[in-house]
């Protein structure tokens, strides 16, 4: 059992200092039970040099994205870099991606809140599409189970793929491979390890889900356990 945190929230002004959606996500029946300590988004890391060398532009639609992935594979590259070696919960990143971006956030919310069935047509289509992407090799081909997050970023830095579809927290791995020591950093960039690596904080989405939106999960929260 965990304690509600209303008293602490009032004392430290958490409701005023936190973004409302983040605060509300940590409540149950109006009571605060946890506090977010980090924020994340699933987006598209891309190697700008690889994109330019192949004449690829940043994808503006799902069709653009899959066309680049198909062409990358035809050239012996990975379509995208992804993997769950060493950390199987990485699977959740791609599940969230498919459900949020293809079933849509409203449908996902309705399923989570119990007002819509998980076997609805939108969910079936998103899950089927997830299987198709995996079977086509879009998620690192046969190496999905053989790549860790760090290894995926190492391959992106070495030009083995145009993309890595990953949470923004993967910047921690990117910094190990896009840096001055490896000769691919630029001090003029906003971050010292950019370019040629860039990050698009959202993915192209189906036109039916316009306008564009950001997926902003909370990877970590803190709670207080009740004393026994």
Q: Residue 153's domain is classified under what CATH number?
A: 3.40.190.10
Mean of pLDDT values over 185-201:
56
Q: What is the C-alpha separation between 2 and 16, in angstroms, rounded?
A: 23
Task: Pick the range with the lowest mean pLDDT from 19-33, 85-99, 178-192.
Answer: 178-192
pLDDT at 228 over 70: no
Is residue 89 in some structural domain? Answer: yes
Q: Please check whether residues 51 and 126 belong to one and the same domain.
A: yes
Asked, for residue 218, whether it belongs to a domain, the answer is no
How far CA 192 is from CA of 47, 82, 149, 195, 210, in Å, comes to: 15, 24, 20, 8, 34
User: Residue 76's pLDDT is what?
Assistant: 97
Residue 66 domain-assigned (yes or no): yes
Q: Tell which wins on pLDDT, 190 or 125.
A: 125
Residue 187 confidence class, pLDDT cut points 50, 70, 90: very low
Say if residue 131 is exposed, middle or buried (CB neighbours under 10 Å; 0-12, 13-18, 19+).
exposed
* Domain shared by 18 and 100, yes or no: no
pTM for the whole structure:
0.80
Residue 10 sits in which domain range?
Answer: 6-36
In a domain? residue 227? no
Is residue 145 predicted with pLDDT exceeding 90?
Answer: yes
pLDDT at 189: 43
Q: What percent of the chain has pLDDT over 70?
A: 88
pLDDT number for residue 148: 92
- Region 42-48 average pLDDT: 87
Sign of the CA dihedral running 72, 89, 154, 36: positive
pLDDT bucket at 174, cuts 50 / 70 / 90: confident
**Same domain flag for 32 and 51:** no
């Amino acid at each position: 059992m965990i304690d509600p945190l209303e008293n602490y929230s009032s004392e430290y002004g958490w409701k005023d200092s936190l973004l409302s959606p983040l605060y509300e996500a940590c409540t149950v029946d109006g009571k605060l039970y946890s506090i977010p300590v980090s924020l994340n988004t699933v987006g598209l890391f891309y190697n700008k040099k690889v994109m330019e060398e192949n004449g690829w532009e940043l994808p503006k639609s799902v069709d653009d994205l899959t066309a680049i992935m198909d062409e990358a594979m035809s050239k012996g590259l990975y379509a995208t870099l992804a993997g769950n070696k060493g950390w199987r919960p990485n699977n959740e990143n791609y599940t969230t991606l498919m459900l949020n971006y293809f079933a849509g956030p409203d449908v996902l919310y309705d399923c989570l809140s119990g007002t819509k069935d998980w076997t609805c047509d939108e969910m079936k289509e998103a899950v089927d599409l997830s299987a198709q992407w995996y079977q086509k090799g879009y998620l690192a081909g046969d190496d999905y189970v053989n790549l860790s997050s760090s290894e995926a970023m190492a391959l992106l830095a070495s030009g083995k793929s145009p993309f890595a579809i990953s949470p923004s927290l993967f910047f921690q791995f990117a910094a190990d491979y896009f840096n001055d020591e490896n000769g691919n950093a630029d001090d003029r960039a906003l971050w010292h390890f950019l370019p040629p690596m860039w990050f698009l904080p959202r993915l192209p989405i189906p036109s039916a889900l316009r306008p564009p939106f950001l997926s902003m999960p909370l990877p970590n929260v803190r709670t207080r356990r009740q004393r026994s």
